[in-house]
Structure 1
Amino acid sequence: MAGTIIITGANGSLAVHVVQQILTKSPETTLVLTVRRTEDDDPNTKKLRATISKFTSARTSIRKLDLTSLTAVHEFASAVASEITEGKLPPLTGIICNAYYWNMVNDPELTADGLEKTIQVNHISHAALVLRLLGSFDPEKGGRLILFTSDGHEDGKNGLQKYPPGIPEDLDTLVQVKPDSDKQGRGFERYANSKLAVLMWTYALNRYLEKANQAMFHQDEALSKITAVCLDPGSLVDSRALRTNTPQFLHYVQKFVLQPLRPLLRLKDPSMRTAADAGADVTALVLNTAKANERGYFKLLNKESSSKLSLDEAKQEKVWEKTAAWAQITKENTALKSGI
């Protein structure tokens, strides 16, 4: 499926494998790869460039995008939309919302937008990016949106959980978080809540996309060809996430338990896998060669039922509406008019 695919956090552990596999399996695809730091003194960006350099005919660009700034997100979306309109980029066929943030060693942080950093990076900024660019997808082919959740969205499923994930009645408490002495427990709670919000928002997004074919306008009909998948990629034992903003004990667990014992651990838990394994799934989903045109929640490549809380449609709608407000989305800046 020729077209343009955007990948956020493109120098991440998982994303580098996705880039390599897309360029191998679909060399005609144009990749717009966003990172927080484009300089080569960032070792992760340097690795991304080295990966791309193996494909001499690759149609790629590495672009700076700071997801802690909604101004930057909106400016980036406007620039990409203009390039597609002007024919400088092919229409979109996919967006992979891979960038993430968590912090289990410090107090909660606020972005320049005054929002808690974990939920802004993981959810709000990605929602803004997706909604701003829905009108830039190929109107005939549609495309795939890949968002990421984790087992942390469901109470009792992740060993790092100390407090159950949830969506409070006052949703603003998700973006205005008070410090707590339990930095690890509350840090993981913020991460888990963000992943629950991503999942619930994706369910609502799919409902509105599916309804678009009932609209009077051809542009709206085209939106129904876009499918959104919220993926739990599994526990990636080689991910640098386990070494970033995490307690020291997790570094040791990764080095001395998870990585060397992965083949044994995987016998009991198939979700214990590598970033390359997960990258293959993401690549197949975004190229629409796996689970073609299906929507919803997937664990690995299996469509499953998510937590009971995540399936609450009334709360999904509350998350949807509040996210649009946080993300500064209006009827004037998204092609998806219903629900905004």
Structure 2
Amino acid sequence: MWLVVVTAIVAVVLGLRFAYRYRIRYCTSMRKLHGKTAIVTGASAGLGKETALDLARRGARVIMACRSLVKAQPVAAEIRTKTGNRNVEVRHLDLSSLASVRKFAQDILDSETAIHILVNNAGIFGSPKRKLTDDGLEITMETNHLGHFLLTNLLLGTLKASAPSRVINVSSDLHASCKTFDPDDLNYEKQPYPGPFKSYQTSKLANVLFTMELSEKLCGTGVTANCLHPGAVSTEIVSKNPTYWWLTPIMDYLMWTFALDVKRGAQTQIYLAVSDEVDGVTGKFFDNSQVIEPSKLAQDPNLARRLWNASERLVNLASEEKHY
């Protein structure tokens, strides 16, 4: 009896694993990117690394924007070896520091004449307790949203001059778990800090709202902005996070059972970066390389404008840093 039950459970688990993984639509675009420049944040591991590898294989100049140079340099060397593309480099970027974002952006503007693809991929899981950065900003929101908001704005002038160009923001379908959102309380000063899962979900909702407002501001410029859910992907965001060491064995098992590997998980952001099918498509939310409807909250234009205005205030976006 028990043997039958165990066999049935194993069969169901393996069936779900197979079904989830093999539903993925691979990016079939053959587009080459010789002469194009791409920036990928968080490119030292996971989805960012796989995206950087694919873009380098297509011939792009790839700038890996990473917090740890020690970790990223060997990855860049690996990508150069695998692709034969010597035009892959690493530059330091800590999205939880506005000063670091501004320094990175200025270095890019000083050295690069064009930017054709910006993949805002980096992200962290929520902090167990409310934690403020040196900027006085909640660390999850600054890393996942505000840092990318500032970076994108600082690079917008060059992105527009390089058009057609693309901005890709990696979000999550977990944004739909948010039933309320207050753009004027991104630091959780009015309401209690909701914990790691909710703070992460809220930052992912901010990614979607930012994308929608960005696409409106860039209408007619030749720069498109889209966001995506990569799927449940086996990355280091939780399982290798030292704060959640006790979750590692559980997450490793769940990731093995149900999650996508990074190659499959990166397909949608690669698709948005290179595919002819999305030429001119902007302001959309994608899952498995297909447009889907984000949550109702994420489609609220008034909320998107309020978030944009609040984000400008929090990052102290100066008039000379505005290119929309």
- Relative to the length of structure 1, the TM-score reads 0.78
Are 1:100 and 2:123 matched, yes or no?
yes
Are 1:63 and 2:91 matched, yes or no?
yes
Once the two structures are TM-superposed, the CA of residue 327 in structure 1 deviates from its matched residue by: 2.0
Q: Which residue of 2 aligns with 1:268?
A: none
Residues 153, 165 of structure 1: 8 Å contact kept: no
Are 1:37 and 2:68 matched, yes or no?
yes
- Counterpart mapping for 1:1-340 below 5 A: 1=33, 2-24=35-57, 26-27=58-59, 29-39=60-70, 42=71, 45-84=73-112, 90-104=113-127, 106-137=128-159, 139=161, 141-155=163-177, 164-168=178-182, 171-176=183-188, 186-210=195-219, 213=220, 224-236=221-233, 238-243=234-239, 244=241, 247-248=244-245, 250-259=247-256, 261-262=257-258, 272-295=259-282, 296-336=284-324
> Measured at CA, do residues 4 and 10 of structure 1 come closer, stay the same or move farther in structure 2, by a change above 3 Å?
same
Identity %: 23
> Measured at CA, do residues 301 and 152 of structure 1 come closer, stay the same or move farther in structure 2, by a change above 3 Å?
same
Distance in 1, Cα, partners of 2:276 & 2:52: 16
Once the two structures are TM-superposed, the CA of residue 53 in structure 1 deviates from its matched residue by: 2.9
> Measured at CA, do residues 178 and 45 of structure 1 come closer, stay the same or move farther in structure 2, by a change above 3 Å?
farther
Distance in 2, Cα, partners of 1:45 & 1:240: 18
> Measured at CA, do residues 179 and 172 of structure 1 come closer, stay the same or move farther in structure 2, by a change above 3 Å?
closer
Distance in 1, Cα, partners of 2:275 & 2:161: 16
- Indicate the SS of the match to 2:319: coil
Residues 69, 90 of structure 2: 8 Å contact kept: yes
Q: Which residue of 1 aligns with 2:21?
A: none
- Indicate the SS of the match to 1:5: strand
Residues 21, 280 of structure 1: 8 Å contact kept: no
Once the two structures are TM-superposed, the CA of residue 16 in structure 1 deviates from its matched residue by: 1.1
Distance in 2, Cα, partners of 1:97 & 1:120: 13
Once the two structures are TM-superposed, the CA of residue 233 in structure 1 deviates from its matched residue by: 0.7
Distance in 2, Cα, partners of 1:308 & 1:152: 13
- Structure 2 residues without counterparts, runs of 5 or longer: 1-32
> Measured at CA, do residues 331 and 179 of structure 1 come closer, stay the same or move farther in structure 2, by a change above 3 Å?
closer
- Indicate the SS of the match to 1:230: strand
- For residues 64-95 of structure 1, the C-alpha deviation after alignment (integer angstroms, 9 at most, x for no partner) is 111111111112112211212xxxxx411011
Distance in 1, Cα, partners of 2:149 & 2:242: 24
Once the two structures are TM-superposed, the CA of residue 165 in structure 1 deviates from its matched residue by: 5.0
Distance in 2, Cα, partners of 1:77 & 1:47: 22
Distance in 2, Cα, partners of 1:319 & 1:139: 26
> Measured at CA, do residues 315 and 245 of structure 1 come closer, stay the same or move farther in structure 2, by a change above 3 Å?
farther
Residues 128, 329 of structure 1: 8 Å contact kept: yes
Residues 36, 65 of structure 1: 8 Å contact kept: yes
- Relative to the length of structure 2, the TM-score reads 0.82
Residues 70, 125 of structure 1: 8 Å contact kept: yes
Paired residue total: 289
Once the two structures are TM-superposed, the CA of residue 318 in structure 1 deviates from its matched residue by: 0.3
Distance in 1, Cα, partners of 2:105 & 2:278: 28
Letter in 1 for 2:52: V
Higher alpha-carbon deviation: 243-252 or 14-23: 243-252
Letter in 1 for 2:314: W
Q: Which residue of 2 aligns with 1:160?
A: none
Distance in 2, Cα, partners of 1:109 & 1:3: 38
Once the two structures are TM-superposed, the CA of residue 56 in structure 1 deviates from its matched residue by: 3.3
